[in-house]
Each structure stands twice: as structure tokens, then as C-alpha cells.
Amino acid sequence: MGLKDGVCKRCMAKDKNKKEDEPLFFSAENQLDFGSVPAFLPQLTRIEEMLIARVHVFVNVMQVRGQQYKYRSHIVHFLRDVGKVYRQLPLLPSELDVILLRPPNASERAHLDRQFRRQFRVRRRCLQAWLDFLRRSHPGYRDIAVCQKRMSVLPEDDDVLDQVAAVDVTDPLSADLVPDLLPEDTEMEALHSRILGEERDEPVPVRQPTQHQLEMPDIRRTPVNEFNRSQALLSMAFPTLFPRGQAEFVEPRLPPVKYADYIQHALRWHDGRFARHPTFRQRSFAGHGRIGTASVESLSLMPTTSTVPEPLLLSPPADLHWRSLYQHLPQFQDWQELPEQQRMGMSSKLLRDNPHIAAWHFYRRFGLFRDIVLKQKFNVTDYWNRYEWQGRGSSHCHGLFWMDGAPSVDLENEHTQERFKGDFLPLFLPKSLGRQILPYVSHHNPLLSFASRLMNKLLAERDFSGQEICHVLLNCELQEGTRVVRAVDCRPYEQQGRSLRLQGDHDDAEVVGIYDKYLSRPPLHEELTYLDFLANWNTSKRDGTKWTRWGRQAKPRVLYYFPRYSSNRQHDQYDDFCRVKLMLAHPHRDPNQLRKVNGVEYASYALAAEFCYGNHQHPDDYYGTPNTDERRPDPDQFEREFHEPDLVEEDWLELARQLPDCPPSQEAIDLLGRRDIDIQYDWTPHVGRYPDPGIVQGDYWRQRIEQDRLDMDVEDLPLEVRDTLNPEQRIVYDTFVGHFQCGSEEQILLQVDGGGGTGKSYMIKVLSSHLQRLAGDRPSPIWRAAPTGVASHQIMGTTLHSLLRLPVDRAFTELSPADANAIQKKLRDVRYLVIDEKSMLGLRQLSWVDKRLRQVFPGRAADFFGGMSIILVGDFFQLPPVANKPLYFDGPLKDLHEVSGQAAYRAFNHTVFLKKVERQQGDDQAGFRLALEELRGLRLSIESWKLLSQRVQAKLSQCEVDKFDTTLRIYSKKARVNEYNYDHLVRLKQPAIQVMAKNIGNGADKATSEQAGNLAGQFPVCIGARLMITQNIWQPAGLVNGAQGIVYDIGWAPGADTHRDPPCVIMMVIDKYTGPSYLTTDDRREVVPILPVKRDFFLGTSACTRKQFPLTVSYAITVHKSQSITVDKMVTDLSERDFQTGLSYVAVSRVKMLEGLMIDAPFERASLHYDKLPDGKNSST
């Protein structure tokens, strides 16, 4: 253990970089003390624990092996949509996710049932004792109800095997434990029903008569996502391991703990309860099962770059006899003193109870044996070994070794092949396994094929034992070797893939590929060949001058070439084969130079290579030789040379093939509209329901806006309201009111800075209202605008683009005289322009505003902004502009618009800072206000981190979590938003349709929503769904980009076919809509129609058109859409580092009170605390 002052090496390594204000990594202060299980609590059987568990994260499939008098127990884990959080306990045995597979005659053979009797033992007294303790001590059990009626049905002390779901199977299954499962709750119900032979909607039959009067357990139907770190699932699924619910994985920690470290810490816990618990081991192992393919591939590559491996070594364990093992296990003294026969029995029990110690001991023992004995005694130069597990679960190791001075094998000589197999292989390979493999060995490359098929056999058809699971969970290597494998893309340069580092929705960065790195190498490596570069150089540093050649003792990398082109001179791939040979052997800067050899450019790569073969000497690249069969794996080496018939798998095994924890694919989203509930619903009554010509013809809003023109004035506020402004707000107010009253023509360019909730919008409202009043009968002298529709609506304004007709996706151009006159007429009486959310405004956009106002007011074209006074409001610590340099950018600029925008920004010579937070009021919110201030400056203190961590979902009671069930989610990434919206639509269980766009033009149907002007090619919708408008329809009334509402109805034009034609209208109830309604419901909700719109766009040179509703599902929205809004309650996630500064701050600051915030998962303080602020900001920007 490497103890030093009582601290082990592992703990010292974790605390090596510990900061002074952080706790020790594996300490109770860091929530990693699991505590002990009270001695008075009885030990429960597996079935008893399931009866009192609030959450089940696995399905236990037990298979009776009648002929062999044994069984297999499959623990099948599903990683999302658990769907059942029980509030009433205990459960009944018939309600458990346990499936018993048995032979048809099992009831006549008592010895088969005896296999399970002990595991299915239930003791009512023990369950009562545990539930009483859990209700007192476990946070997750405090709100549960213990039903005494249900408790009375359970036996005093008996097995419940006859109450478990069972099905007769004709043939015994040979499937192994399946670590990953992803069923929906409804799928599990269907599976359960099918096994019992029931209809899907019938309840599970209850076998005892008294159970017919029992209430079903109260189940929270909100899906539980197991790996989103939102719920304390481990402590509710395994209450006997977490009797007090402490040290749960989802606890906020400083420093944070990775899941692998957490599981290893649990397995090493001093009382061994986690390692002994079979289901916990299996559950922790879920997701680690897909192993082996890469390691077999690395073995298959080694013979292409090395000599033939001499011995094949099989190292079985002697774990029933090793004294060195048992001295680390409990009861070592008793084990020593027992007679041999009794000691063997005790050895087996100790191994079953302590698989983690046995696995670690074998791993360390074999490693020492290999490094100290084999390598030194037999002059081993290369090795490859892999750990495997026998039928009884014990570890063993298979390996291939390359030894200096060992006999060589001539693969082309049949006599030496036979001698090698006769003299060497039998010494190391069990004959039974060899006989199984030899019939399928390729005759072209016997040794390589033999090794490949050996590993294929070892990887297949086995169960995962306790020792194997612990081996993986303890982070021990499954495969070890002396060589590093590097993949080499041999395709033409223009066909080679490019890698992206995904940093967010906007800032993805391309990663430099290995070939690109070689081509751009510094001049000092001019003569370096690509082969040498790949095999022998460390090129991890960005600066090529710091690249280093591997040490003399280091082994060259094994190169995995793909694809491998044919070396046959008559094959059409031969020219590509020669291109690869030249690419590896000749130093070059440009792939197009490869046909030039010794200053002569040849017509083909083949001709250039032929000259090279005859005149140059190059190191072997192991890619092959012309017209020579390559020594590489056979195409069928991982397949049997005959095909077995396909197996028909059982339903539960089919479910187990699903992949875990993946976001909804486009196919899954498209399934909405094709489910049974969707197909069976008759939409015909919705045809012709809204025959209004304005709706059918699509010009309803044009007519309505002309009839009910709304001005942009704010509400009239009394003068006394100005006294509610704080001192900083009053400075701004007095400046502009005084300026207007004295009739001054002097231009004011003023910035107003303030964090979220400092009353910027309120100050604009009061100032606008009183300037309107001072203007009397004249039009208002102030206009309000912002970069986005939501932001502009918050201040009763317009977007800058609509006000000044700024370009969105094209170059800036001067206005036509007619358009210039229209804007002049609109702004004739306006003296003050408020521009809100300045953080989202870039230098280029500010330049356009400046140029446009100069054109509109030619009399003062020499002045910035045409002489108009500007109030620039916002907070640079919030979201920056998209694809635009922020206003505070002070680096070098090349774009002329950005240069002029910077000059215009620097003309603002006065700034007022709003410091008082108005949104989060009250003394009880003082800590929250401080946390927001620190979050704004990315200086989150430990105290503020702890305060915000109290709002992590796993720390809240279930009652409080339920209050956020329908609350808006605000996430930073679109993928997370789409996933939540999809899940919520499914949960509505309402008939849905896919609204398909109408596309015109070459490739228009494949255009993304971004390419098609923010119109989706299709989107799902149902009545009751929450949607967001994605374009400005009628700003004064609140129909703006970002406005949200609920779908009231869906309608088709008269005579339409609902299966073929898209709807003509989606009727919605829009939040904060202030205009006239189309209809009013009985509960006084105002309903308005949302109609399809057209967008013209280009794909390359093709002109395209898309007609679609400007709508998207919005149970969750992006942070960009949330800026400027204020809500009472909101859910967000801070666990991922912001890909753009300000995301976390904007999200959290949307709520008025700390109690209105729920955070999905624990988050790291390090991602919200910087010693040096990013993006060139400083606290006084």
C-alpha cells in the first residue's frame, strides 16, 4: 500500500495538488465516508433488499440449468428511464423485476427449486426493522409510507419463489450476463406481461387472496435518468449498503470525484460490504462489458512488425492454496489452522466474499512474475498478455512472448511449421482448447491465424465473474503489452477525415491530424520521413521544435494501416499502394509531390515507385512488397469457416442488446407521429375547423396588424415612480430628462453597465414613460431596441435589424432612397435610442448601426450615429455575440466594419455602473446576491459554491423536486435541449404528428434549419405541447422570436388530407400576449393562430424555398434564448464547463430567489472560478 504516516499511496497521489481551502480527497469532509452498518440490523437476502428498495436499476433474470444442476443469474442493468420511484413500501414479490427461466418440468423436480429457495427467503421482522431504521436515518426514505397491510402479507420466515414471475423454456440459454439495457418503463411492463401471458394493460396477478384488497404501491412516474447525477439512485437501490444515505455519488464535492474513483473507493471500503454485494458489483460494471476487440486487434498487428512469438503462456491461478492471498483476507488465522479438506471449503467461501482482493492479488502477482522472472530469465523482448476468468470465476492470464535467441519459424516451410507446433505449442496450450481451434486455422498464415482464433475463443461465451468485475472496477489492465499501436490513414489526403473538438454549439475547433502535423513540421525536421515520424517520434507538443525522438530503449510503435491496398501490379489499387509506399518512405511537404522522385515527376505513383524500388534503400514499412502476399490477418480470421444458423433470442435478451444512455436519434424523434397512439387517432374532425380566409390563405396577421396598429409606447407611470430608482439609476434618469427639458442638441453617448437583476429594464421603462409624458401630444422622443426579439419585447421595443433594416446573413449595403425615407419618417421625432443587451452586440453590428443612422440623418452624417444620443445598456459578463467580436475587443482588426465599429464604441465617453441588485430582494437573499456577483465575475467562492450546491436536485426532498416537474429548463447546448424536449413530448402521451415543411429547390429538403432561415425541415407537435415562436410576427403584441405558449389545437384547410397535407394553422395560447385574440376559451385563455411562413435561401448556387411554421418545442430552451427573461422557477445544469463565457451566470440569474432554482447535477467550483478571467474581460469592463 505504500503507507506513509498511516496514509496510503493512493490517497497521497489524490491529495498531491490539493489546495489549502480544499478537504482531503477521500475524507468524510469530502462526503466519501460510507460509515458502518449498525450491528443490530439483520443481513438481508437479495430479494429482501429488493422489497425495500425505492428504485430498481436492474432486472434479475435467473435461469435454471436442469441438466447440469446449476443456474445462471443474469443481472441486466438499464441506464435510463427507470420510471419507478416507490413511495410506499414494502413491495410484493410479484412486483419485483425478477424473471425465472426454468425447464417445463421444473415443478416435478424439487432439486431445481432448491437452487433458489435460499435467495428467495423473506423475513417480515427483518424488513420491518430495516424500514424503521431507514425512515429515521436515510434522507431518501423520510417521506415514504410503510404499508402494514402489505407487510402483513409477507411471510414471517419463508421463501416466496412461487410468487416470482416465471416462464418455461424448452432449451437452456447460453447467453452471458448482459451489462447494458435501455428499456422504457412501458417496455418492461410489456415484457413482464408477456412472460406471464397477460394483456399489457392488466396488472400483475396477485397469488394470495388477501392481496386483492391491497393498494398498489405509490409510484412516481417521472422518468429517472440513472446517469445524469440528479437522483441519489445508488442509496435508494442498495439501502443495505447506504443505511444512512451518506457518501452518495451525487453529493456535491470539493474536489469533485469521478465515478471510477468512487467505485474503487467503495470496493476498497474496510468492511468489504460493497465488494461482497453481487448486485452492486454488477451494476457498477454496467457499461464495461464491451471489451476485447481492440486488444485482439493489437495482438494481430504485432506479428506484422515483430518476429514470430515463441511461447504461448497460460497462467492459471492457485487461488485456493496461495498463502500470500489468504493473509490479506479475513479470518486468516482460522484458515491456517483448519485441516486441508475444511480449508478448501473455507477458501472457496473467502474467494466468493472477497473477489476484489483475489483479483488484485492475481494481477499484482502475475505482473511481478512476468517482469522479474520471465523477462529476465528468458530474455523477453516483446510480450502481449490478457487476463481471463475461468468457469468458477478465478483469474488466469494468456500471453504471447517474443524472446531473444529463441528458435525461429519459417512460415513458408511446412516442415518447420509442424516442428514448431509439435515441439513448442503443446507445452503451453491445453490440448482440448487447441483441438477446438485448429480446425478453423487458416492455411495461408497458420501461426497468426492460430493466435487470432485463440483470442476469439477466449473472448467468447463466458460469464462475468466477481473477480473479473472487480478487476475492471479496480482499474486493472485487461490487456498489457510492450508496443503502442498507432492508426495510419492511407487514403488520399483529400479523402482523409477531419476531427473536431466539440466545445459547444458555436465554438467547435478542428483538431490537427497526424498527417497534417507531419506536412507542417518545422524546417529542422525537413528530412524526416513519415514512417520514422509515425514510429519513433513524440509529437504531442504543438511546437514542432520541441518534438523528441523516443529513447533508444523504447520500442517503435506498431502501425495499423487502413486501408491496405493490393500490392498486385495488375490490380486497379496498385497505384494507391505505390502512393502509400512513397508517402511513408520519402520526405515531403505536399502530397502532390510524391510522384516526383530525384527531381523527375512521373505520370503515376506506380512509375515513381518502380524507380524507387530499383534505386533506393528504405527501412521496412510492413505495408507489403509488390506482387507478394502480405503477412497480415486473414479476412475471415475472426470468423468460423462455416456459418451456424441464427439463434432466436428470448425477449429479455433482445431488450438487453440496446445501447445505454444515448440521446434521442433523429429516427427516435421521427417516431413521434408513427406510434400506435398517433396512428389510431383520427384527425379528420380537425379538417376545415378554421375556415377563415386569412388563416387558409396565410395573411391573417397582415390583416390584423393593419386593423389594430399598436404603438411602441410603454405604460404611463406617475412621476412619483422616479423616487423608487436607486442612486445610479437616478443619475441616468436625470441626465436624459434634463437634456430633453432644456432642449439641448448636444449628443450623449452613455453606457449603462449592470449585472442581471440590477434593474436595467425597469430604469428604461421609467425613463421612457416620463419622456413620453414630457413630449405631450408629440410622438415619444425615445426608441428602444435590442439584438433579439425576446430582449426587445422585454423593454417594449423592436430589434435593431427590423428598426434599421440591418442584414442578417448577407453583406451590409446602403439603403435605397425609399427605405431611407421610411426610417427617417419613423425616427423623425426620436432623439434617444436605447440599445439593450450590449453584450450580444458585436463590433460589426455596431458599425452597421452607426452607418445606417448617418444615412438616415444626413445633416449630421459627420457625427457618430448621425448625431442621435445613444444609451448602450447591458452586461459584458453575459452572453457574447455569435460569430462577431465583442465590443470590448482590443486586439488587432482587419475587417473594416469592425474597425469602424471599434471607433464608434470608443466614442462612448461616460459610463454608469448599476451595483444594487433589485431582482433578488430581501435579507434572506443576500447570500444568493453575493453568489451571483461572484458568478458574474467567475470568482465563485467556496461559501457561494456550497450555497448553490444546496439547490442540486439530489440534495432536495422529493416534494420539492416535484414542484419543478413542469418548470422551464435552461441548458447551454442544443443537444441537451432537444433531448429534454423529446422526452417531455413522449411523457405527454398525446397523439402527435410530424409537421413537414414544403421545400422547393435542389437539395432544399436536406437543408438544416440554420440554412433555411430558422425553419425546421420537420418537427413533432401535439395538443398540449409547449412551443416557442422562432420569428417576430407582431412585436408590440408579444408575438416575438422567443415567445412561448401551449398548443390549443391543430387545424387543416378545408378538403385537406391529414395523412398527406401539413396543417394550415396551429392554434396557441401565448404567454404575455397583449393583442386581440382569435377566440377565447371557457377558462378565459386567449387563443391566436400561428401560420406557416416562407423563407428563400441559397444552397450553393441553387435558389431554394421552404414553407414551415416558425415554431419549435420549448420545454427546455438554450441560454441564448433565455437572456432578458425573468422567471419564478427554473432548472439548469452547471456540471459542464461553459463553452462560452457568461452561460452559467445568465442561466442562474434568471430567477428571483434561490428557492426558485434547481440545478440538475453537482458541479465543479473550478469551472466557475478563474484566477485570470477569459476573453479579455476584467471586473471593471
What pLDDT is recorded for position 403?
A: 81
User: What pLDDT shows up at residue 189?
Assistant: 44
Which helix (H) or strand (E) segment holds residue 1040: the answer is none
CB 267 within 8 A of CB 282: no
Length of the chain: 1181
d(CA 752, CA 871): 7
What is the residue whose three cell numbers read 432544399?
1004
First to last CA, the chain: 52
Which of 162-171, 456-465, 706-715 has the lowest average pLDDT? 456-465
pLDDT bucket at 557, cuts 50 / 70 / 90: confident
Q: What does pTM read for this prediction?
A: 0.65
Distance CA 322, CA 213 (A): 57
Residue with more model confidence, 642 or 218: 218
d(CA 638, CA 636): 5
In percent, how much of the chain has pLDDT > 90?
Answer: 32
At 198, the pLDDT band (50, 70, 90 cuts) reads: very low
| pLDDT at residue 992, as a whole number | 95
Mean pLDDT score of the chain: 79
Q: How far apart are CA 757 and CA 1152, in angstroms?
A: 8
Exposed / middle / buried, residue 691 (Cβ in 10 Å: 0-12, 13-18, 19+): exposed
Average the pLDDT over each of 174-183, 191-200, 891-900 and give the range with the smallest value. Answer: 174-183
Tens digit of each residue's pLDDT (9 = 90 or more) over 352-383: 888 888 888 888 888 898 889 888 888 888 88
Q: How confident is the model at residue 240 (pLDDT cuts 50, 70, 90)?
A: very high
Determine the pLDDT at residue 470: 80
Backbone conformation region of residue 624, classed left if phi is above 0, alpha if psi is from -120 to 50, else beta: left
Say if residue 177's pLDDT is above 50: no
Which of the 8 DSSP states describes residue 1174?
G
Cα–Cα dist 7/27, whole Å: 12
Using the predicted structure, report yes or no on whether residue 419 has a pLDDT greater than 70.
Answer: no
Which of 169-183, 599-613, 715-729 shows the highest mean pLDDT? Answer: 599-613
User: What is the arithmetic mean of pLDDT over 1133-1139?
Assistant: 84
Q: Contact 191/655 with Cβ under 8 angstroms?
A: yes
Most confident of 173-182, 954-963, 1042-1051: 1042-1051
Comparing 14-18, 100-104, 194-198, 759-763, which segment has the lowest mean pLDDT?
Answer: 194-198
Q: What is the pLDDT of residue 412?
A: 53
Reduced to 3 states (helix: H, G, I; strand: E, B; else coil), residue 61 is strand
Q: What is the pLDDT of residue 900?
A: 93
pLDDT value for 901: 92
pLDDT at 575: 94
Higher pLDDT, 278 or 685: 685
For 492-545, write each residue's pLDDT tens digit. Answer: 988 876 554 444 444 444 456 889 899 999 999 999 999 999 999 988 888 888
Is residue 462 pLDDT above 70, yes or no?
Answer: no
Packing angle of the helix pair 574-585, 605-615 (nearest 10 deg): 50
Strand 998-1000, strand 1102-1108: pairing: antiparallel
Q: Decide if pLDDT at 308 tops 70.
A: no
Task: Locate 506 and state its grid cell.
Answer: 458555436
Q: Which residue from 1100, 1089, 1094 is spatially nearest to 1066, judged by alpha carbons?
A: 1089
Q: Which domains does the chain have, with CATH numbers?
A: 1-30 (no CATH), 34-258 (no CATH), 306-481 (no CATH), 485-615 (no CATH), 663-711+975-1126 (no CATH), 727-914 (3.40.50.300)
Q: What percent of the chain has pLDDT over 70?
A: 74
Quickly tell me which residue has 471599434 as its cell: 902
pLDDT of residue 307: 53
Backbone angle region of 79, left / alpha / beta, with phi > 0 → left and psi within -120 to 50 → alpha = alpha
Question: Looking at residues 562-566, what average pLDDT do you find?
Answer: 89
Q: Is 63 helix (H, G, I), strand (E, B) or coil?
A: strand
Q: What is the mean pLDDT of residues 139-154?
A: 92
